[in-house]
Chain A
Amino acid sequence: MIEALSTLCGQLVQAGVLPPAFVHLFMARALIAAVVVGGVFGLLSPLVQARRLAFFSAALGQSAMVGVAVGVFLGEPIEAPWAGLFGVTTLSALWLVFARRRLGLSADTLVGVFLAISLAVGLTALVLVTRRFNIHQVEAVLFGSPLTVSDADLGVLMLVSVVVVAVVAASTRPLLLDALDPGLAAAARLRTGWWEYVFVAVLACAVVVALRVVGALLVEALVVIPAATARLLSSSWRRVTALSAVLGVVGGVAGVVVSAASLVPAGAAIVLCLGAAFVVAGLWSVLRGGRR
């Protein structure tokens, strides 16, 4: 599939549609990664906002630095410490939900404390484990790049995206009804607590695979902007979800193309394209007469 897409990209380069960089095979991988990550986060985005988990997602991205250190400590290669990343990020997500439910603290306070500490602990642990300060490794986690995605990364990405689609399909009703009113969800005998844990665990896995593409600092944009933009254009849950997923995919593709045609890093270009769509949708919404 990658070769076929690369050949198509080559033809489009010859036709002058795509920038010259698309003759390279890694650009086809970058396109696939951006499409899948954009689509996955576009799909997750409305539920993340309904459950007020945007700040939480940013904290998970930053906890990834601890995951890298743990992975390296366990003997994984520093460029692909998947067990450390998935393990630490998922456990962090589950712990945050458990702590919020048990301690009665506001989610913002708890996540704010965790966000600051996790990055500091991650940087310290990485130095302790690698015995040196490797700024390139830190950059890779913080900023990511779809241009460096390998075939193995794409495999992990595809696997996570299938799980995300399945969990979003199954958890939407309990999580949304619980957000509307916990009593309504309880009356329907939906296991909202269980689904919240499942959802944040899957969100954590999606954040991990997104680190490769946009990095920890920009992952929050992926979970916020698609649904926020779609929300400006529609008031129906189904339409918002569909629009959000489409915007995620289009933003991913547009970002990779803009990046290849300029010096803008791909992660930043993806977020800029999504941001431009948000501004246009905002103007459209204002011109149509304000809030829906």
Chain B
Amino acid sequence: MSTVGTVGTAGVMSEAPLRVWRRGRLLVDGAEGLRVGPGDIVALRGDNGAGKSSILLGCLGLLPSTLTVRGQIGYVPQQVRSSVALPLNLADTLRLVGVPGRQHEAVVAAAALNHATTRPWQALSTGERMRLLVARAIHSRAEVLLLDEPTASLDPDSRQRVLSAIAAAAVAGAAVLLVSHNDDDIAALGARAVAVVAAREAT
């Protein structure tokens, strides 16, 4: 782990060592801490199962960790469930994630999904769902953006649009912590890369 940057009123912070547990088992045991301040973009890198997504879940309070987050959070998961047991259309989903009705049009336009407003959530492709959640997270002017592989399922145009939106959010003062396997994305964002190693390998 590397420790760079400063945390003002909003951001993500963990003193060293950065640790995340699941059911009492140590998943992540970084020698150093983690700081993501306003305007910072930090990319978590590492092998599958290293604990990158677990660090985001630790930020959200879903796993016990040494991480603390200050400020309003915009989160984009790696995959969003799509089930026939959840009868949701796009507008229902926006309402659920807290977008007021008067802002639906702007978020849908930012996600380039104007053609899909009445489509069921499960009928949207993985990339379309991801575009919508990224657009919503950024449009909500969240102070802390936690993004789990936000460009993994996107076509080149959508990827470029999402990267531009993330960079703009950081310029506007958001603290961005993202998981990425894509070196081009990390370079395009000018992100600071932090290597994550699973606890069993680290110790």
Could you say which of A104, A183, A238 contacts B62, with CB atoms under 8 Å apart? A183
Which residues of A lie under 8 Å from residue B86 when comparing CB positions?
A: 50, 176, 179-180
What is the bound-complex CA distance between A50 and B77, given in angstroms?
19
CA distance A181 to B98 in the complex (A): 14
The answer, yes or no, to whether A24 is at the interface (CB within 8 Å) is no
Interface stretch (choices A30-38, A128-136, A211-219, A229-237): A229-237
Answer yes or no: A275 CB below 8 A from chain B CBs: no
Interface pair B87/A236, CB less than 8 Å apart: yes
Q: How large is the interface on B (under 10, 10 to 19, 20 to 34, 35 or more residues)?
A: 20 to 34
Interface string of A46-80 (1 = CB under 8 A from B): 10011010000000000000000000000000000
A183 x B85 contact (CB < 8 A): no
Contact partner, A184, options B84, B89, B97, Cβ 8 Å: B97
- The residues of B that contact A235 with a CB separation of less than 8 Å are 87-89, 120
With A and B bound together, what is the CA distance between A88 and B167 in angstroms? Answer: 55
Q: Verify if B92 is at the interface (C-beta below 8 Å from A).
A: yes
Could you tell me if B75 and A177 are in contact, using CB atoms closer than 8 angstroms? Answer: no
B85–A292 touching, CB < 8 Å: no
A183 and B87 within 8 A (CB) = no
Q: Is B93 an interface residue (CB 8 A)?
A: yes
B87 contact from A46, A52, A177, A186, Cβ within 8 A? A46
Which of chain B's residues have a CB closer than 8 A to the CB of A234? 87
The reply to whether the CB of B57 lies closer than 8 angstroms to some CB of chain A is yes
Asked if B67 CB lies within 8 Å of chain A CBs, one says no
Q: Is B187 an interface residue when CB atoms closer than 8 A count as contact?
A: no
How many Å lie between the Cα of A292 and that of B84 in the bound state?
9
B146 adjacent to A236 (CB under 8 Å): no
Q: What residue in chain B is nearest A240 (Cβ atoms)?
A: B87
B85, B97, B146: residue with the most chain A Cβ atoms closer than 10 Å: B85
- Please name all residues of chain B whose beta carbon is closer than 8 Å to the beta carbon of A291 when the two chains form the complex: 84
Do A236 and B97 touch across chains, with their CB atoms under 8 A apart? no
**Nearest CB of B to A220, in Å:** 15
Determine which of B81, B83, B92 lies in contact with A238 in the assembled complex, contact meaning CB atoms within 8 Å. Answer: B92
- Check A173 against B96 for contact (C-beta < 8 Å): yes
Asked whether A187 lies within 8 Å of B87 as measured between CB atoms, the reply is no
Question: Is residue A188 within 8 Å, beta carbon to beta carbon, of the partner chain?
Answer: yes
How far in angstroms is the closest Cβ of chain B from A231? 5
Complex Cα distance A193/B81, Å? Answer: 19
25 A-B contacts (beta carbon < 8 Å): A50-B86, A52-B85, A173-B96, A179-B81, A179-B83, A181-B80, A183-B60, A183-B146, A184-B75, A184-B77, A186-B61, A187-B73, A187-B75, A188-B97, A188-B98, A189-B73, A234-B87, A235-B89, A235-B120, A236-B88, A236-B89, A236-B91, A236-B92, A238-B92, A240-B87
Besides A173-B96, A176-B86, A186-B62, 12 more A-B contacts (Cβ < 8 Å) are A46-B87, A49-B85, A176-B88, A179-B83, A180-B93, A183-B62, A184-B75, A184-B97, A187-B60, A235-B87, A237-B87, A292-B120
Which B residues lie within 8 Å of A237 (CB)? 87-89, 92
Instruction: Report if B37 contacts A (CB, 8 A).
Output: no
Known pairs A46-B87, A186-B62, A237-B88; A181 contacts B120 (CB<8 A): no
The answer to whether the Cβ of B56 comes within 8 Å of any Cβ in the partner chain is yes
Q: What residues of chain A lie closer than 8 Å to B133, measured between beta carbons? A: 184
Q: Is B23 an interface residue (CB 8 A)?
A: yes
Closest to A236 in B: B89
Residue A182 at the chain B interface, CB threshold 8 Å: yes
Is the beta-carbon distance between B73 and A176 smaller than 8 angstroms?
no
